[in-house]
Structure formats: structure tokens, C-alpha cells
Amino acid sequence: MRRRSLTAFVAVVFVLFAGTALAQQTFRIAIGVDPDSLDPAQGTTTTVDNVLDYMVQPLVTIDGTGKLVPDLATSWSTSADGKTLTFDLRQGVTFQDGTAFDASAVKWNLERLLDPKVRVPRRGQLTVIDSIDVVDANTVRLNLKQPSPALVGALSQTTVGMLSPASVDKDGNSYENIVHPVGTGPYTYTSRQKGTNVVVSRNDAYWGDKPYYDKVVFQVVPEATTRESLLLAGQVDLIILPPTSDLPALQNNPRVKVLFGPSDRTIFIAINTSKKVLDNKLVREALNYAVDKQAIIKGVLFGAAEPMDAPMAPSLFGYKKIGAYPYDPEKAKQLLKQAGVDPSQITLHMISPTGRYVQDFPAAQAIANYIRDIGFKVDVRTMDWPTYVGTITKPQAENTTELHLLGWAPSFMDASQQMQQFDCGQSPPNGLATSFYCNQDVQKLLDQASSEVDVQKREQLYQQASQIIWNDAPWIFLWVQSFPMAYQANLTGISGLPNEKFYALYAHPAN
């Protein structure tokens, strides 16, 4: 009898240890969205890009500060006239199917991205490429239609992740739709169950440093509270976006660590500058002084943001700290008086999405209260995202919104996409510059910057434009949101990239 219980005990211990050993080799990440597609070309969502980054790699990438660094290209140079861009490729790299990564593979990938037959939502930034030359096996040259200093940045997106040309008609793949990506990355695609997970396994032939974990499972969990539960129950290792209101509790929990990942997403109230009253710069300044950004960040966002001090996030090329609109309701009222505006006679219509950005609708309600404090009547409404985009992009004559909350995150770390928001040509219905802001001085600077090859001059042009925009106040400048994540406290090697991605490739237990 005693003997049997001993055997049972040993068996149980064995099973427990075997379980732990197995669990240690798999890293589990709970993400919020089910990938639309595993085709890098078709991507629109940062989190899906983040998953694909385990499998495919672009020519260049960004480091933790947002600076462009080599990936599959070791160096690159622009010709004096700015119309050719030459990349030296990393040698000895093979795709996960064993075929060689070389200049002709790069040419094939870029041509696929430019081919209208393939759905590429982010093609816009690449269409400046006219043709691609294979100089030799390890050198590729892009010939451009006009100088495009932002192109190298655009080539750092996951969209441009290199796929093996030989894999395009295997494993269910087609030229138009890749379902089984074969890249050069540290992990290879293993399986996917739609709505549930994506599983990748370590690529032991990887050219760079090998990761610790054999397998990574991305589990799809749309509900923030459930992601948090999975973490607390020890069923996953890392989660993105825990419920914002629980951040303080998680920070006090010794079993988990909270990481405020950096983001390039500016959150703002776009002021419809084409509307009467709001076309007055003094009124827009007053609105900026009326809102206590710090208090809302602390009380509503639980610290998950930093106030804006320029019309773009600090991680972007072209950023320069401009200033602040400190909370000063008296000054706001005075500015309204100066503008000859009696706010008590005016109702401002404000809309906000719900659940699109960190605490968006609650923040909008708080902002509305501050605006009421300086005398305006404000009504706030929310709607689902597609309806919202449809509403704010109505042409000027039909556009009924006066204030709306929006987030804007360039897909690569360059001011050019941010500045679309202040480009006269991007006003709805042509684009999403939904404050209908148009200042010819700014426009001239932006046009110049878009083709200025000299890096320093280009940076200065954006900084000058930023200064004018800040003073014109087409937005209520709010904050740069951060991208909260949480992970098991016994892990290390986890950080965030400045474009709302997690960087956990080299995560491992701390001891």
C-alpha cells in the first residue's frame, strides 16, 4: 500500500516537472485581434504586423528609439539627385524554405507590392518606385519617379517583409493571397486556427541571434478583461492592452510587470476650422487652454499617456519640442472675450469613438466638461468606428461635426504621414485631414520637405511647420498615448518599440 502511494507520488511529481519543462519552451502572447490576413502585403493592423515580424523581415527596421537600422540590408545610399536608392544586402541569408535571399528576391517582392492585382492598403508610400534593378546578387537599386526622402522609412514597414518567391504557390499560397508566409525571420509559421491562435516555431537556420523559446503562440483574445485574467491565471506570458482602469492594480501586483510601451500615436480633438467661430484662432487657443490634459491623463487614462508638446510624437523624424498650452481657464475666457465670442450662446457638437484608443470616450466626456467650464454648451456622442470615419470624412459642406477625438499614428517614424493632417490637399473628401486646416505657409514648407534630400534641411522644414501649426491650434493638442502591456514578473527581455509593437523576441526567464 505504501509502495503504491510512493509510486503514485513519483508519477505525479514527474508529470508536474515534465509539464513545467514543456511550458518553459513555449511563450504565449495574448493579442486583441484575429489577423485578417497573414500576407504582409495586405496588412493594416500594427498587432498583426507584430505577429508577422516573427516570420518575415524588411530591408531596414527601427530600433527602440525609432531610428532606422539595418535588417536584411546592411547599408543603403541615396544618389545626389535623390532619384536612386541602392541597398547592399546581407549575405548568406536563406529563406525558411532553404532558397537564397538575394537581389532578385527583393526585386520580386517589391514588384509584387506595386502590382495592382495584389491588395496592398499601404501601397501609397511605395508608388514612387519606378523600377527595380538587380545590380548583382547582393545589391539592388530602386529607381524613383522623384526624390523621396521618406521612402527608406516606408521600407521599414512589415508590409515590405520579404517572402520567398519560391513559396508563392505552395501550402495554399497564391500570388494574390499568402496564407503561409515563408520569410527569413527567427521563427517559421507552423499553424493557425482562425479566431484562436497563430503558432510559430524557432527557425534554427536563422542568420541572427537565436531566441530562447522553441515555440511562440499568439492567442487571440478580443476582450481586455479576459486577457488580464489569462495573465493572472498564469495561462499566458505577455498580454497587450490590459483594461486601462486596472493598470494601477496590476502595477501593485508583484507577480506581473506593467510596461508602458512607447507609441507614436498622437491623440487630439480635431477642431473643424471651417466652421464659424472655430475659424477664429483665438477661440481655438482658448479651447486648448481650457482643458487640463494632465488631470485627464492621471484620472482617466491612469497614466497611460504623455501630454503633447508638438504636433507630432517625439519618436518621429522632424520632431521638435514646441511648447505647451497649460491649463488656464481664466486665460481661455479672456481669449474668448477678446475674440468677441459669447460661449453661452453656442453649442459645440463633439463626437468620439469608443474603444479605438486608450479610454477615448471617457476622455472625450472629461474634455467636454472642461469646455463647458469656460461657458460653451457641448454635446458629446459616440458611434462605431466605420460610422465614425464616415461621419468625420464628409466634405466640408455636409460636415456637421465641430469637434472630434482622433488618434493618428504614422506607420513609420517620419513626420511626413503626420503632416498629412495639416496638408491642404488632404481635407475630406480627399483625405483624413479632418480639421480642414489649410495654411499656405505650412503648405509651402511641407511641399519642400517632401522632396528635400538633405536630411538636416528636411528636419528643419518640418520643425518650422510644427511651430506654425502649434500656434494656429487646429487641434486641441492632447497627448501621445502609450501602449500598455503586462507580463509575468519572472520574465525579462521584453520591451516596446515606438510604433505600438511589443519586442519580446528574446524574452526569457530571469534566472
Partner 1 sequence: MSGFLGYLLQRLIGVMVTILFVAITIFLMVRILPGDPARVIAGVLASDQDVARIRTQLGLDQPLWTQAGIFLNDLAHGDLGTSARTSDPVTQEILARLPYTALLAVVSLAVAIAVGLPLGALAAARAGSLADLAVSALVLFGISMPVYWLGLMLIILFSIQLRWLPAAGASGPLSIILPAVTLAAFSVAFIARITRSSMLEVLRQDYVRTARAKGTPARGVLWRHALRNALPPIVTIIGLQFGELLGGAILTETVFGWPGMGRLLVDSIFSRDYPMVQGLVIVFALMFALVNLAVDLLYERIDPRVRYG
**Residues within the interface to partner 1 (CB under 8 A):** 30, 34, 36-37, 42, 44-45, 116, 119-124, 176-177, 179, 193-197, 219-223, 225-227, 229-230, 232-235, 384-391, 393, 408, 410-411, 417, 420, 430-432
How many angstroms separate the CA atoms of 355 and 384, rounded?
A: 9
Cis peptide before 429 (omega within 30 of 0): yes
Q: Which is nearer to partner 1, 94 or 177 (CB)?
A: 177
- Name the residue among 378, 375, 368, 363 with its Cα closest to residue 335: 375
Q: Kindly write down the DSSP assignment for every residue of 315-328, as one continuous string.
A: TSBT----------
> At its nearest, how many Å lie between partner 1 and the CB of residue 224?
11
Q: Kindly write down the DSSP assignment for every residue of 217-245, as one continuous string.
A: EEEE---HHHHHHHHHTTS-SEEES--GG
Beta-bridge partners for 267: 407, 479
Q: Which is nearer to partner 1, 177 or 448 (CB)?
A: 177
Q: Which is nearer to partner 1, 49 or 102 (CB)?
A: 49
Q: Which is nearer to partner 1, 309 or 414 (CB)?
A: 414
Fill in the amino acid letter for 243: P
| Cell numbers placing 54 | 516573427
> At its nearest, how many Å lie between partner 1 and the CB of residue 235?
6
> At its nearest, how many Å lie between partner 1 and the CB of residue 342?
34
What number of other Cβ atoms are within 10 A of residue 441's Cβ? 12
Q: Are 28 and 236 in contact (CB under 8 A)?
A: yes
- Name the residue among 160, 154, 114 with its Cα closest to residue 410: 154
Instruction: Please identify which residue in the block is written with the cell numbers 514578473.
Output: 489
Q: Which is nearer to partner 1, 326 or 355 (CB)?
A: 355
Query: Measuring CA to CA, how many Å separate 415 from each of 129, 265, 348, 398?
Result: 20, 12, 31, 30
What's the number of CA atoms in the CB half-sphere (13 Å) around residue 280? 13
How many angstroms separate the CA atoms of 15 and 492, rounded?
A: 27
Q: Which is nearer to partner 1, 22 or 295 (CB)?
A: 22
> At its nearest, how many Å lie between partner 1 and the CB of residue 332?
30
> At its nearest, how many Å lie between partner 1 and the CB of residue 430?
6
Q: Which is nearer to partner 1, 227 or 293 (CB)?
A: 227
> At its nearest, how many Å lie between partner 1 and the CB of residue 208?
29
Q: Which is nearer to partner 1, 223 or 454 (CB)?
A: 223
Q: Which is nearer to partner 1, 218 or 376 (CB)?
A: 218
Query: Measuring CA to CA, how many Å separate 507 from each of 28, 205, 211, 480?
Result: 11, 19, 8, 27
> At its nearest, how many Å lie between partner 1 and the CB of residue 121?
4
How many angstroms separate the CA atoms of 314 and 201, rounded?
A: 35
> At its nearest, how many Å lie between partner 1 and the CB of residue 410?
8
Contacts 24+ apart (CB under 8 A), 46-52: 46/409, 46/411, 46/499, 46/500, 46/501, 47/240, 47/500, 49/157, 49/158, 49/159, 49/501, 50/158, 50/501, 50/502, 51/198, 51/218, 52/158, 52/161, 52/181
> At its nearest, how many Å lie between partner 1 and the CB of residue 481?
15
| Cell numbers placing 84 | 536612386
Q: Kindly write down the DSSP assignment for every residue of 147-204, as one continuous string.
A: --TTHHHHTTSGGG----GGGGGSTT--SS--SS---SSSEEEEEEETTTEEEEEE-T
Q: Which is nearer to partner 1, 325 or 436 (CB)?
A: 436
Q: Which is nearer to partner 1, 105 or 351 (CB)?
A: 351
> At its nearest, how many Å lie between partner 1 and the CB of residue 411?
6
- Name the residue among 234, 231, 233, 235 with its Cα closest to residue 258: 231
Q: Which is nearer to partner 1, 340 or 386 (CB)?
A: 386
> At its nearest, how many Å lie between partner 1 and the CB of residue 389?
6
> At its nearest, how many Å lie between partner 1 and the CB of residue 491?
19
Q: Are 294 and 305 in contact (CB under 8 A)?
A: no
> At its nearest, how many Å lie between partner 1 and the CB of residue 153?
13
Q: Which is nearer to partner 1, 89 or 120 (CB)?
A: 120
Q: What is the CA radius of gyration of the chain?
A: 25
How many angstroms separate the CA atoms of 304 and 486, rounded?
A: 13
